[in-house]
Amino acid sequence: MPTADTQTIYVNADDKPTREGVLHFTRFSSGDRMTRSLKVLSGCWFAAGVTVFIPIAHFILVPGFLIAGPVMAYFRYRVDRANENVAVQCPVCDESVTIEMEAADRLPLYTYCPKCNNSLQVAEN
């Protein structure tokens, strides 16, 4: 079962003092990763089965989905955590902000403050 977890991170902005923040993410166990990858694999192969009935396009779609299934399942299996957001006090505007992250974002991350729109660097240390 995926578990929510947190990690201390640091947020920099050019010449401003570094602020400590909290990264919220979801951690996937080995079983979760296998389940997620099998869902992707079955979805792609199901799409391959459905596209068999589309004339002409099935020459491209069926082999495409059959090949994409294991490839996408492999990449999905490699994902052991999904980043959600960073809660921090902005070093520039001193407001408490929540910076939303994409699941695949990796640190260090260069982003913008949602309040003052200044550039920020989110790093692990």
Residue numbers at the binding site for Zn ion (CB under 5 A): 90, 92-93, 113, 115-116
Shortest distance in whole angstroms from residue 114 CB to Zn ion? 8
Shortest distance in whole angstroms from residue 18 CB to Zn ion? 14
Backbone torsions φ then ψ of 116, nearest 5 degrees: -105, -5
Q: Name the residue nearer to Zn ion (CB basis): 62 or 90.
A: 90
Q: Which residue has the tokens 């902000």?
A: 97
Q: Name the residue nearer to Zn ion (CB basis): 41 or 88.
A: 88
Shortest distance in whole angstroms from residue 89 CB to Zn ion? 9
Shortest distance in whole angstroms from residue 91 CB to Zn ion? 8
Q: Name the residue nearer to Zn ion (CB basis): 101 or 113.
A: 113
Spell out the alpha helix ranges (H) of the chain: 30-51, 58-78
Q: Name the residue nearer to Zn ion (CB basis): 73 or 113.
A: 113
b vs e for 53-70, b when ≥16 Cβ sit within 10 Å of the residue's Cβ? eeeeeeeebbebbeebbe
Which distant-in-sequence residues (6+ apart) come within 8 Å of 80 by Cβ? Answer: 27, 28, 33
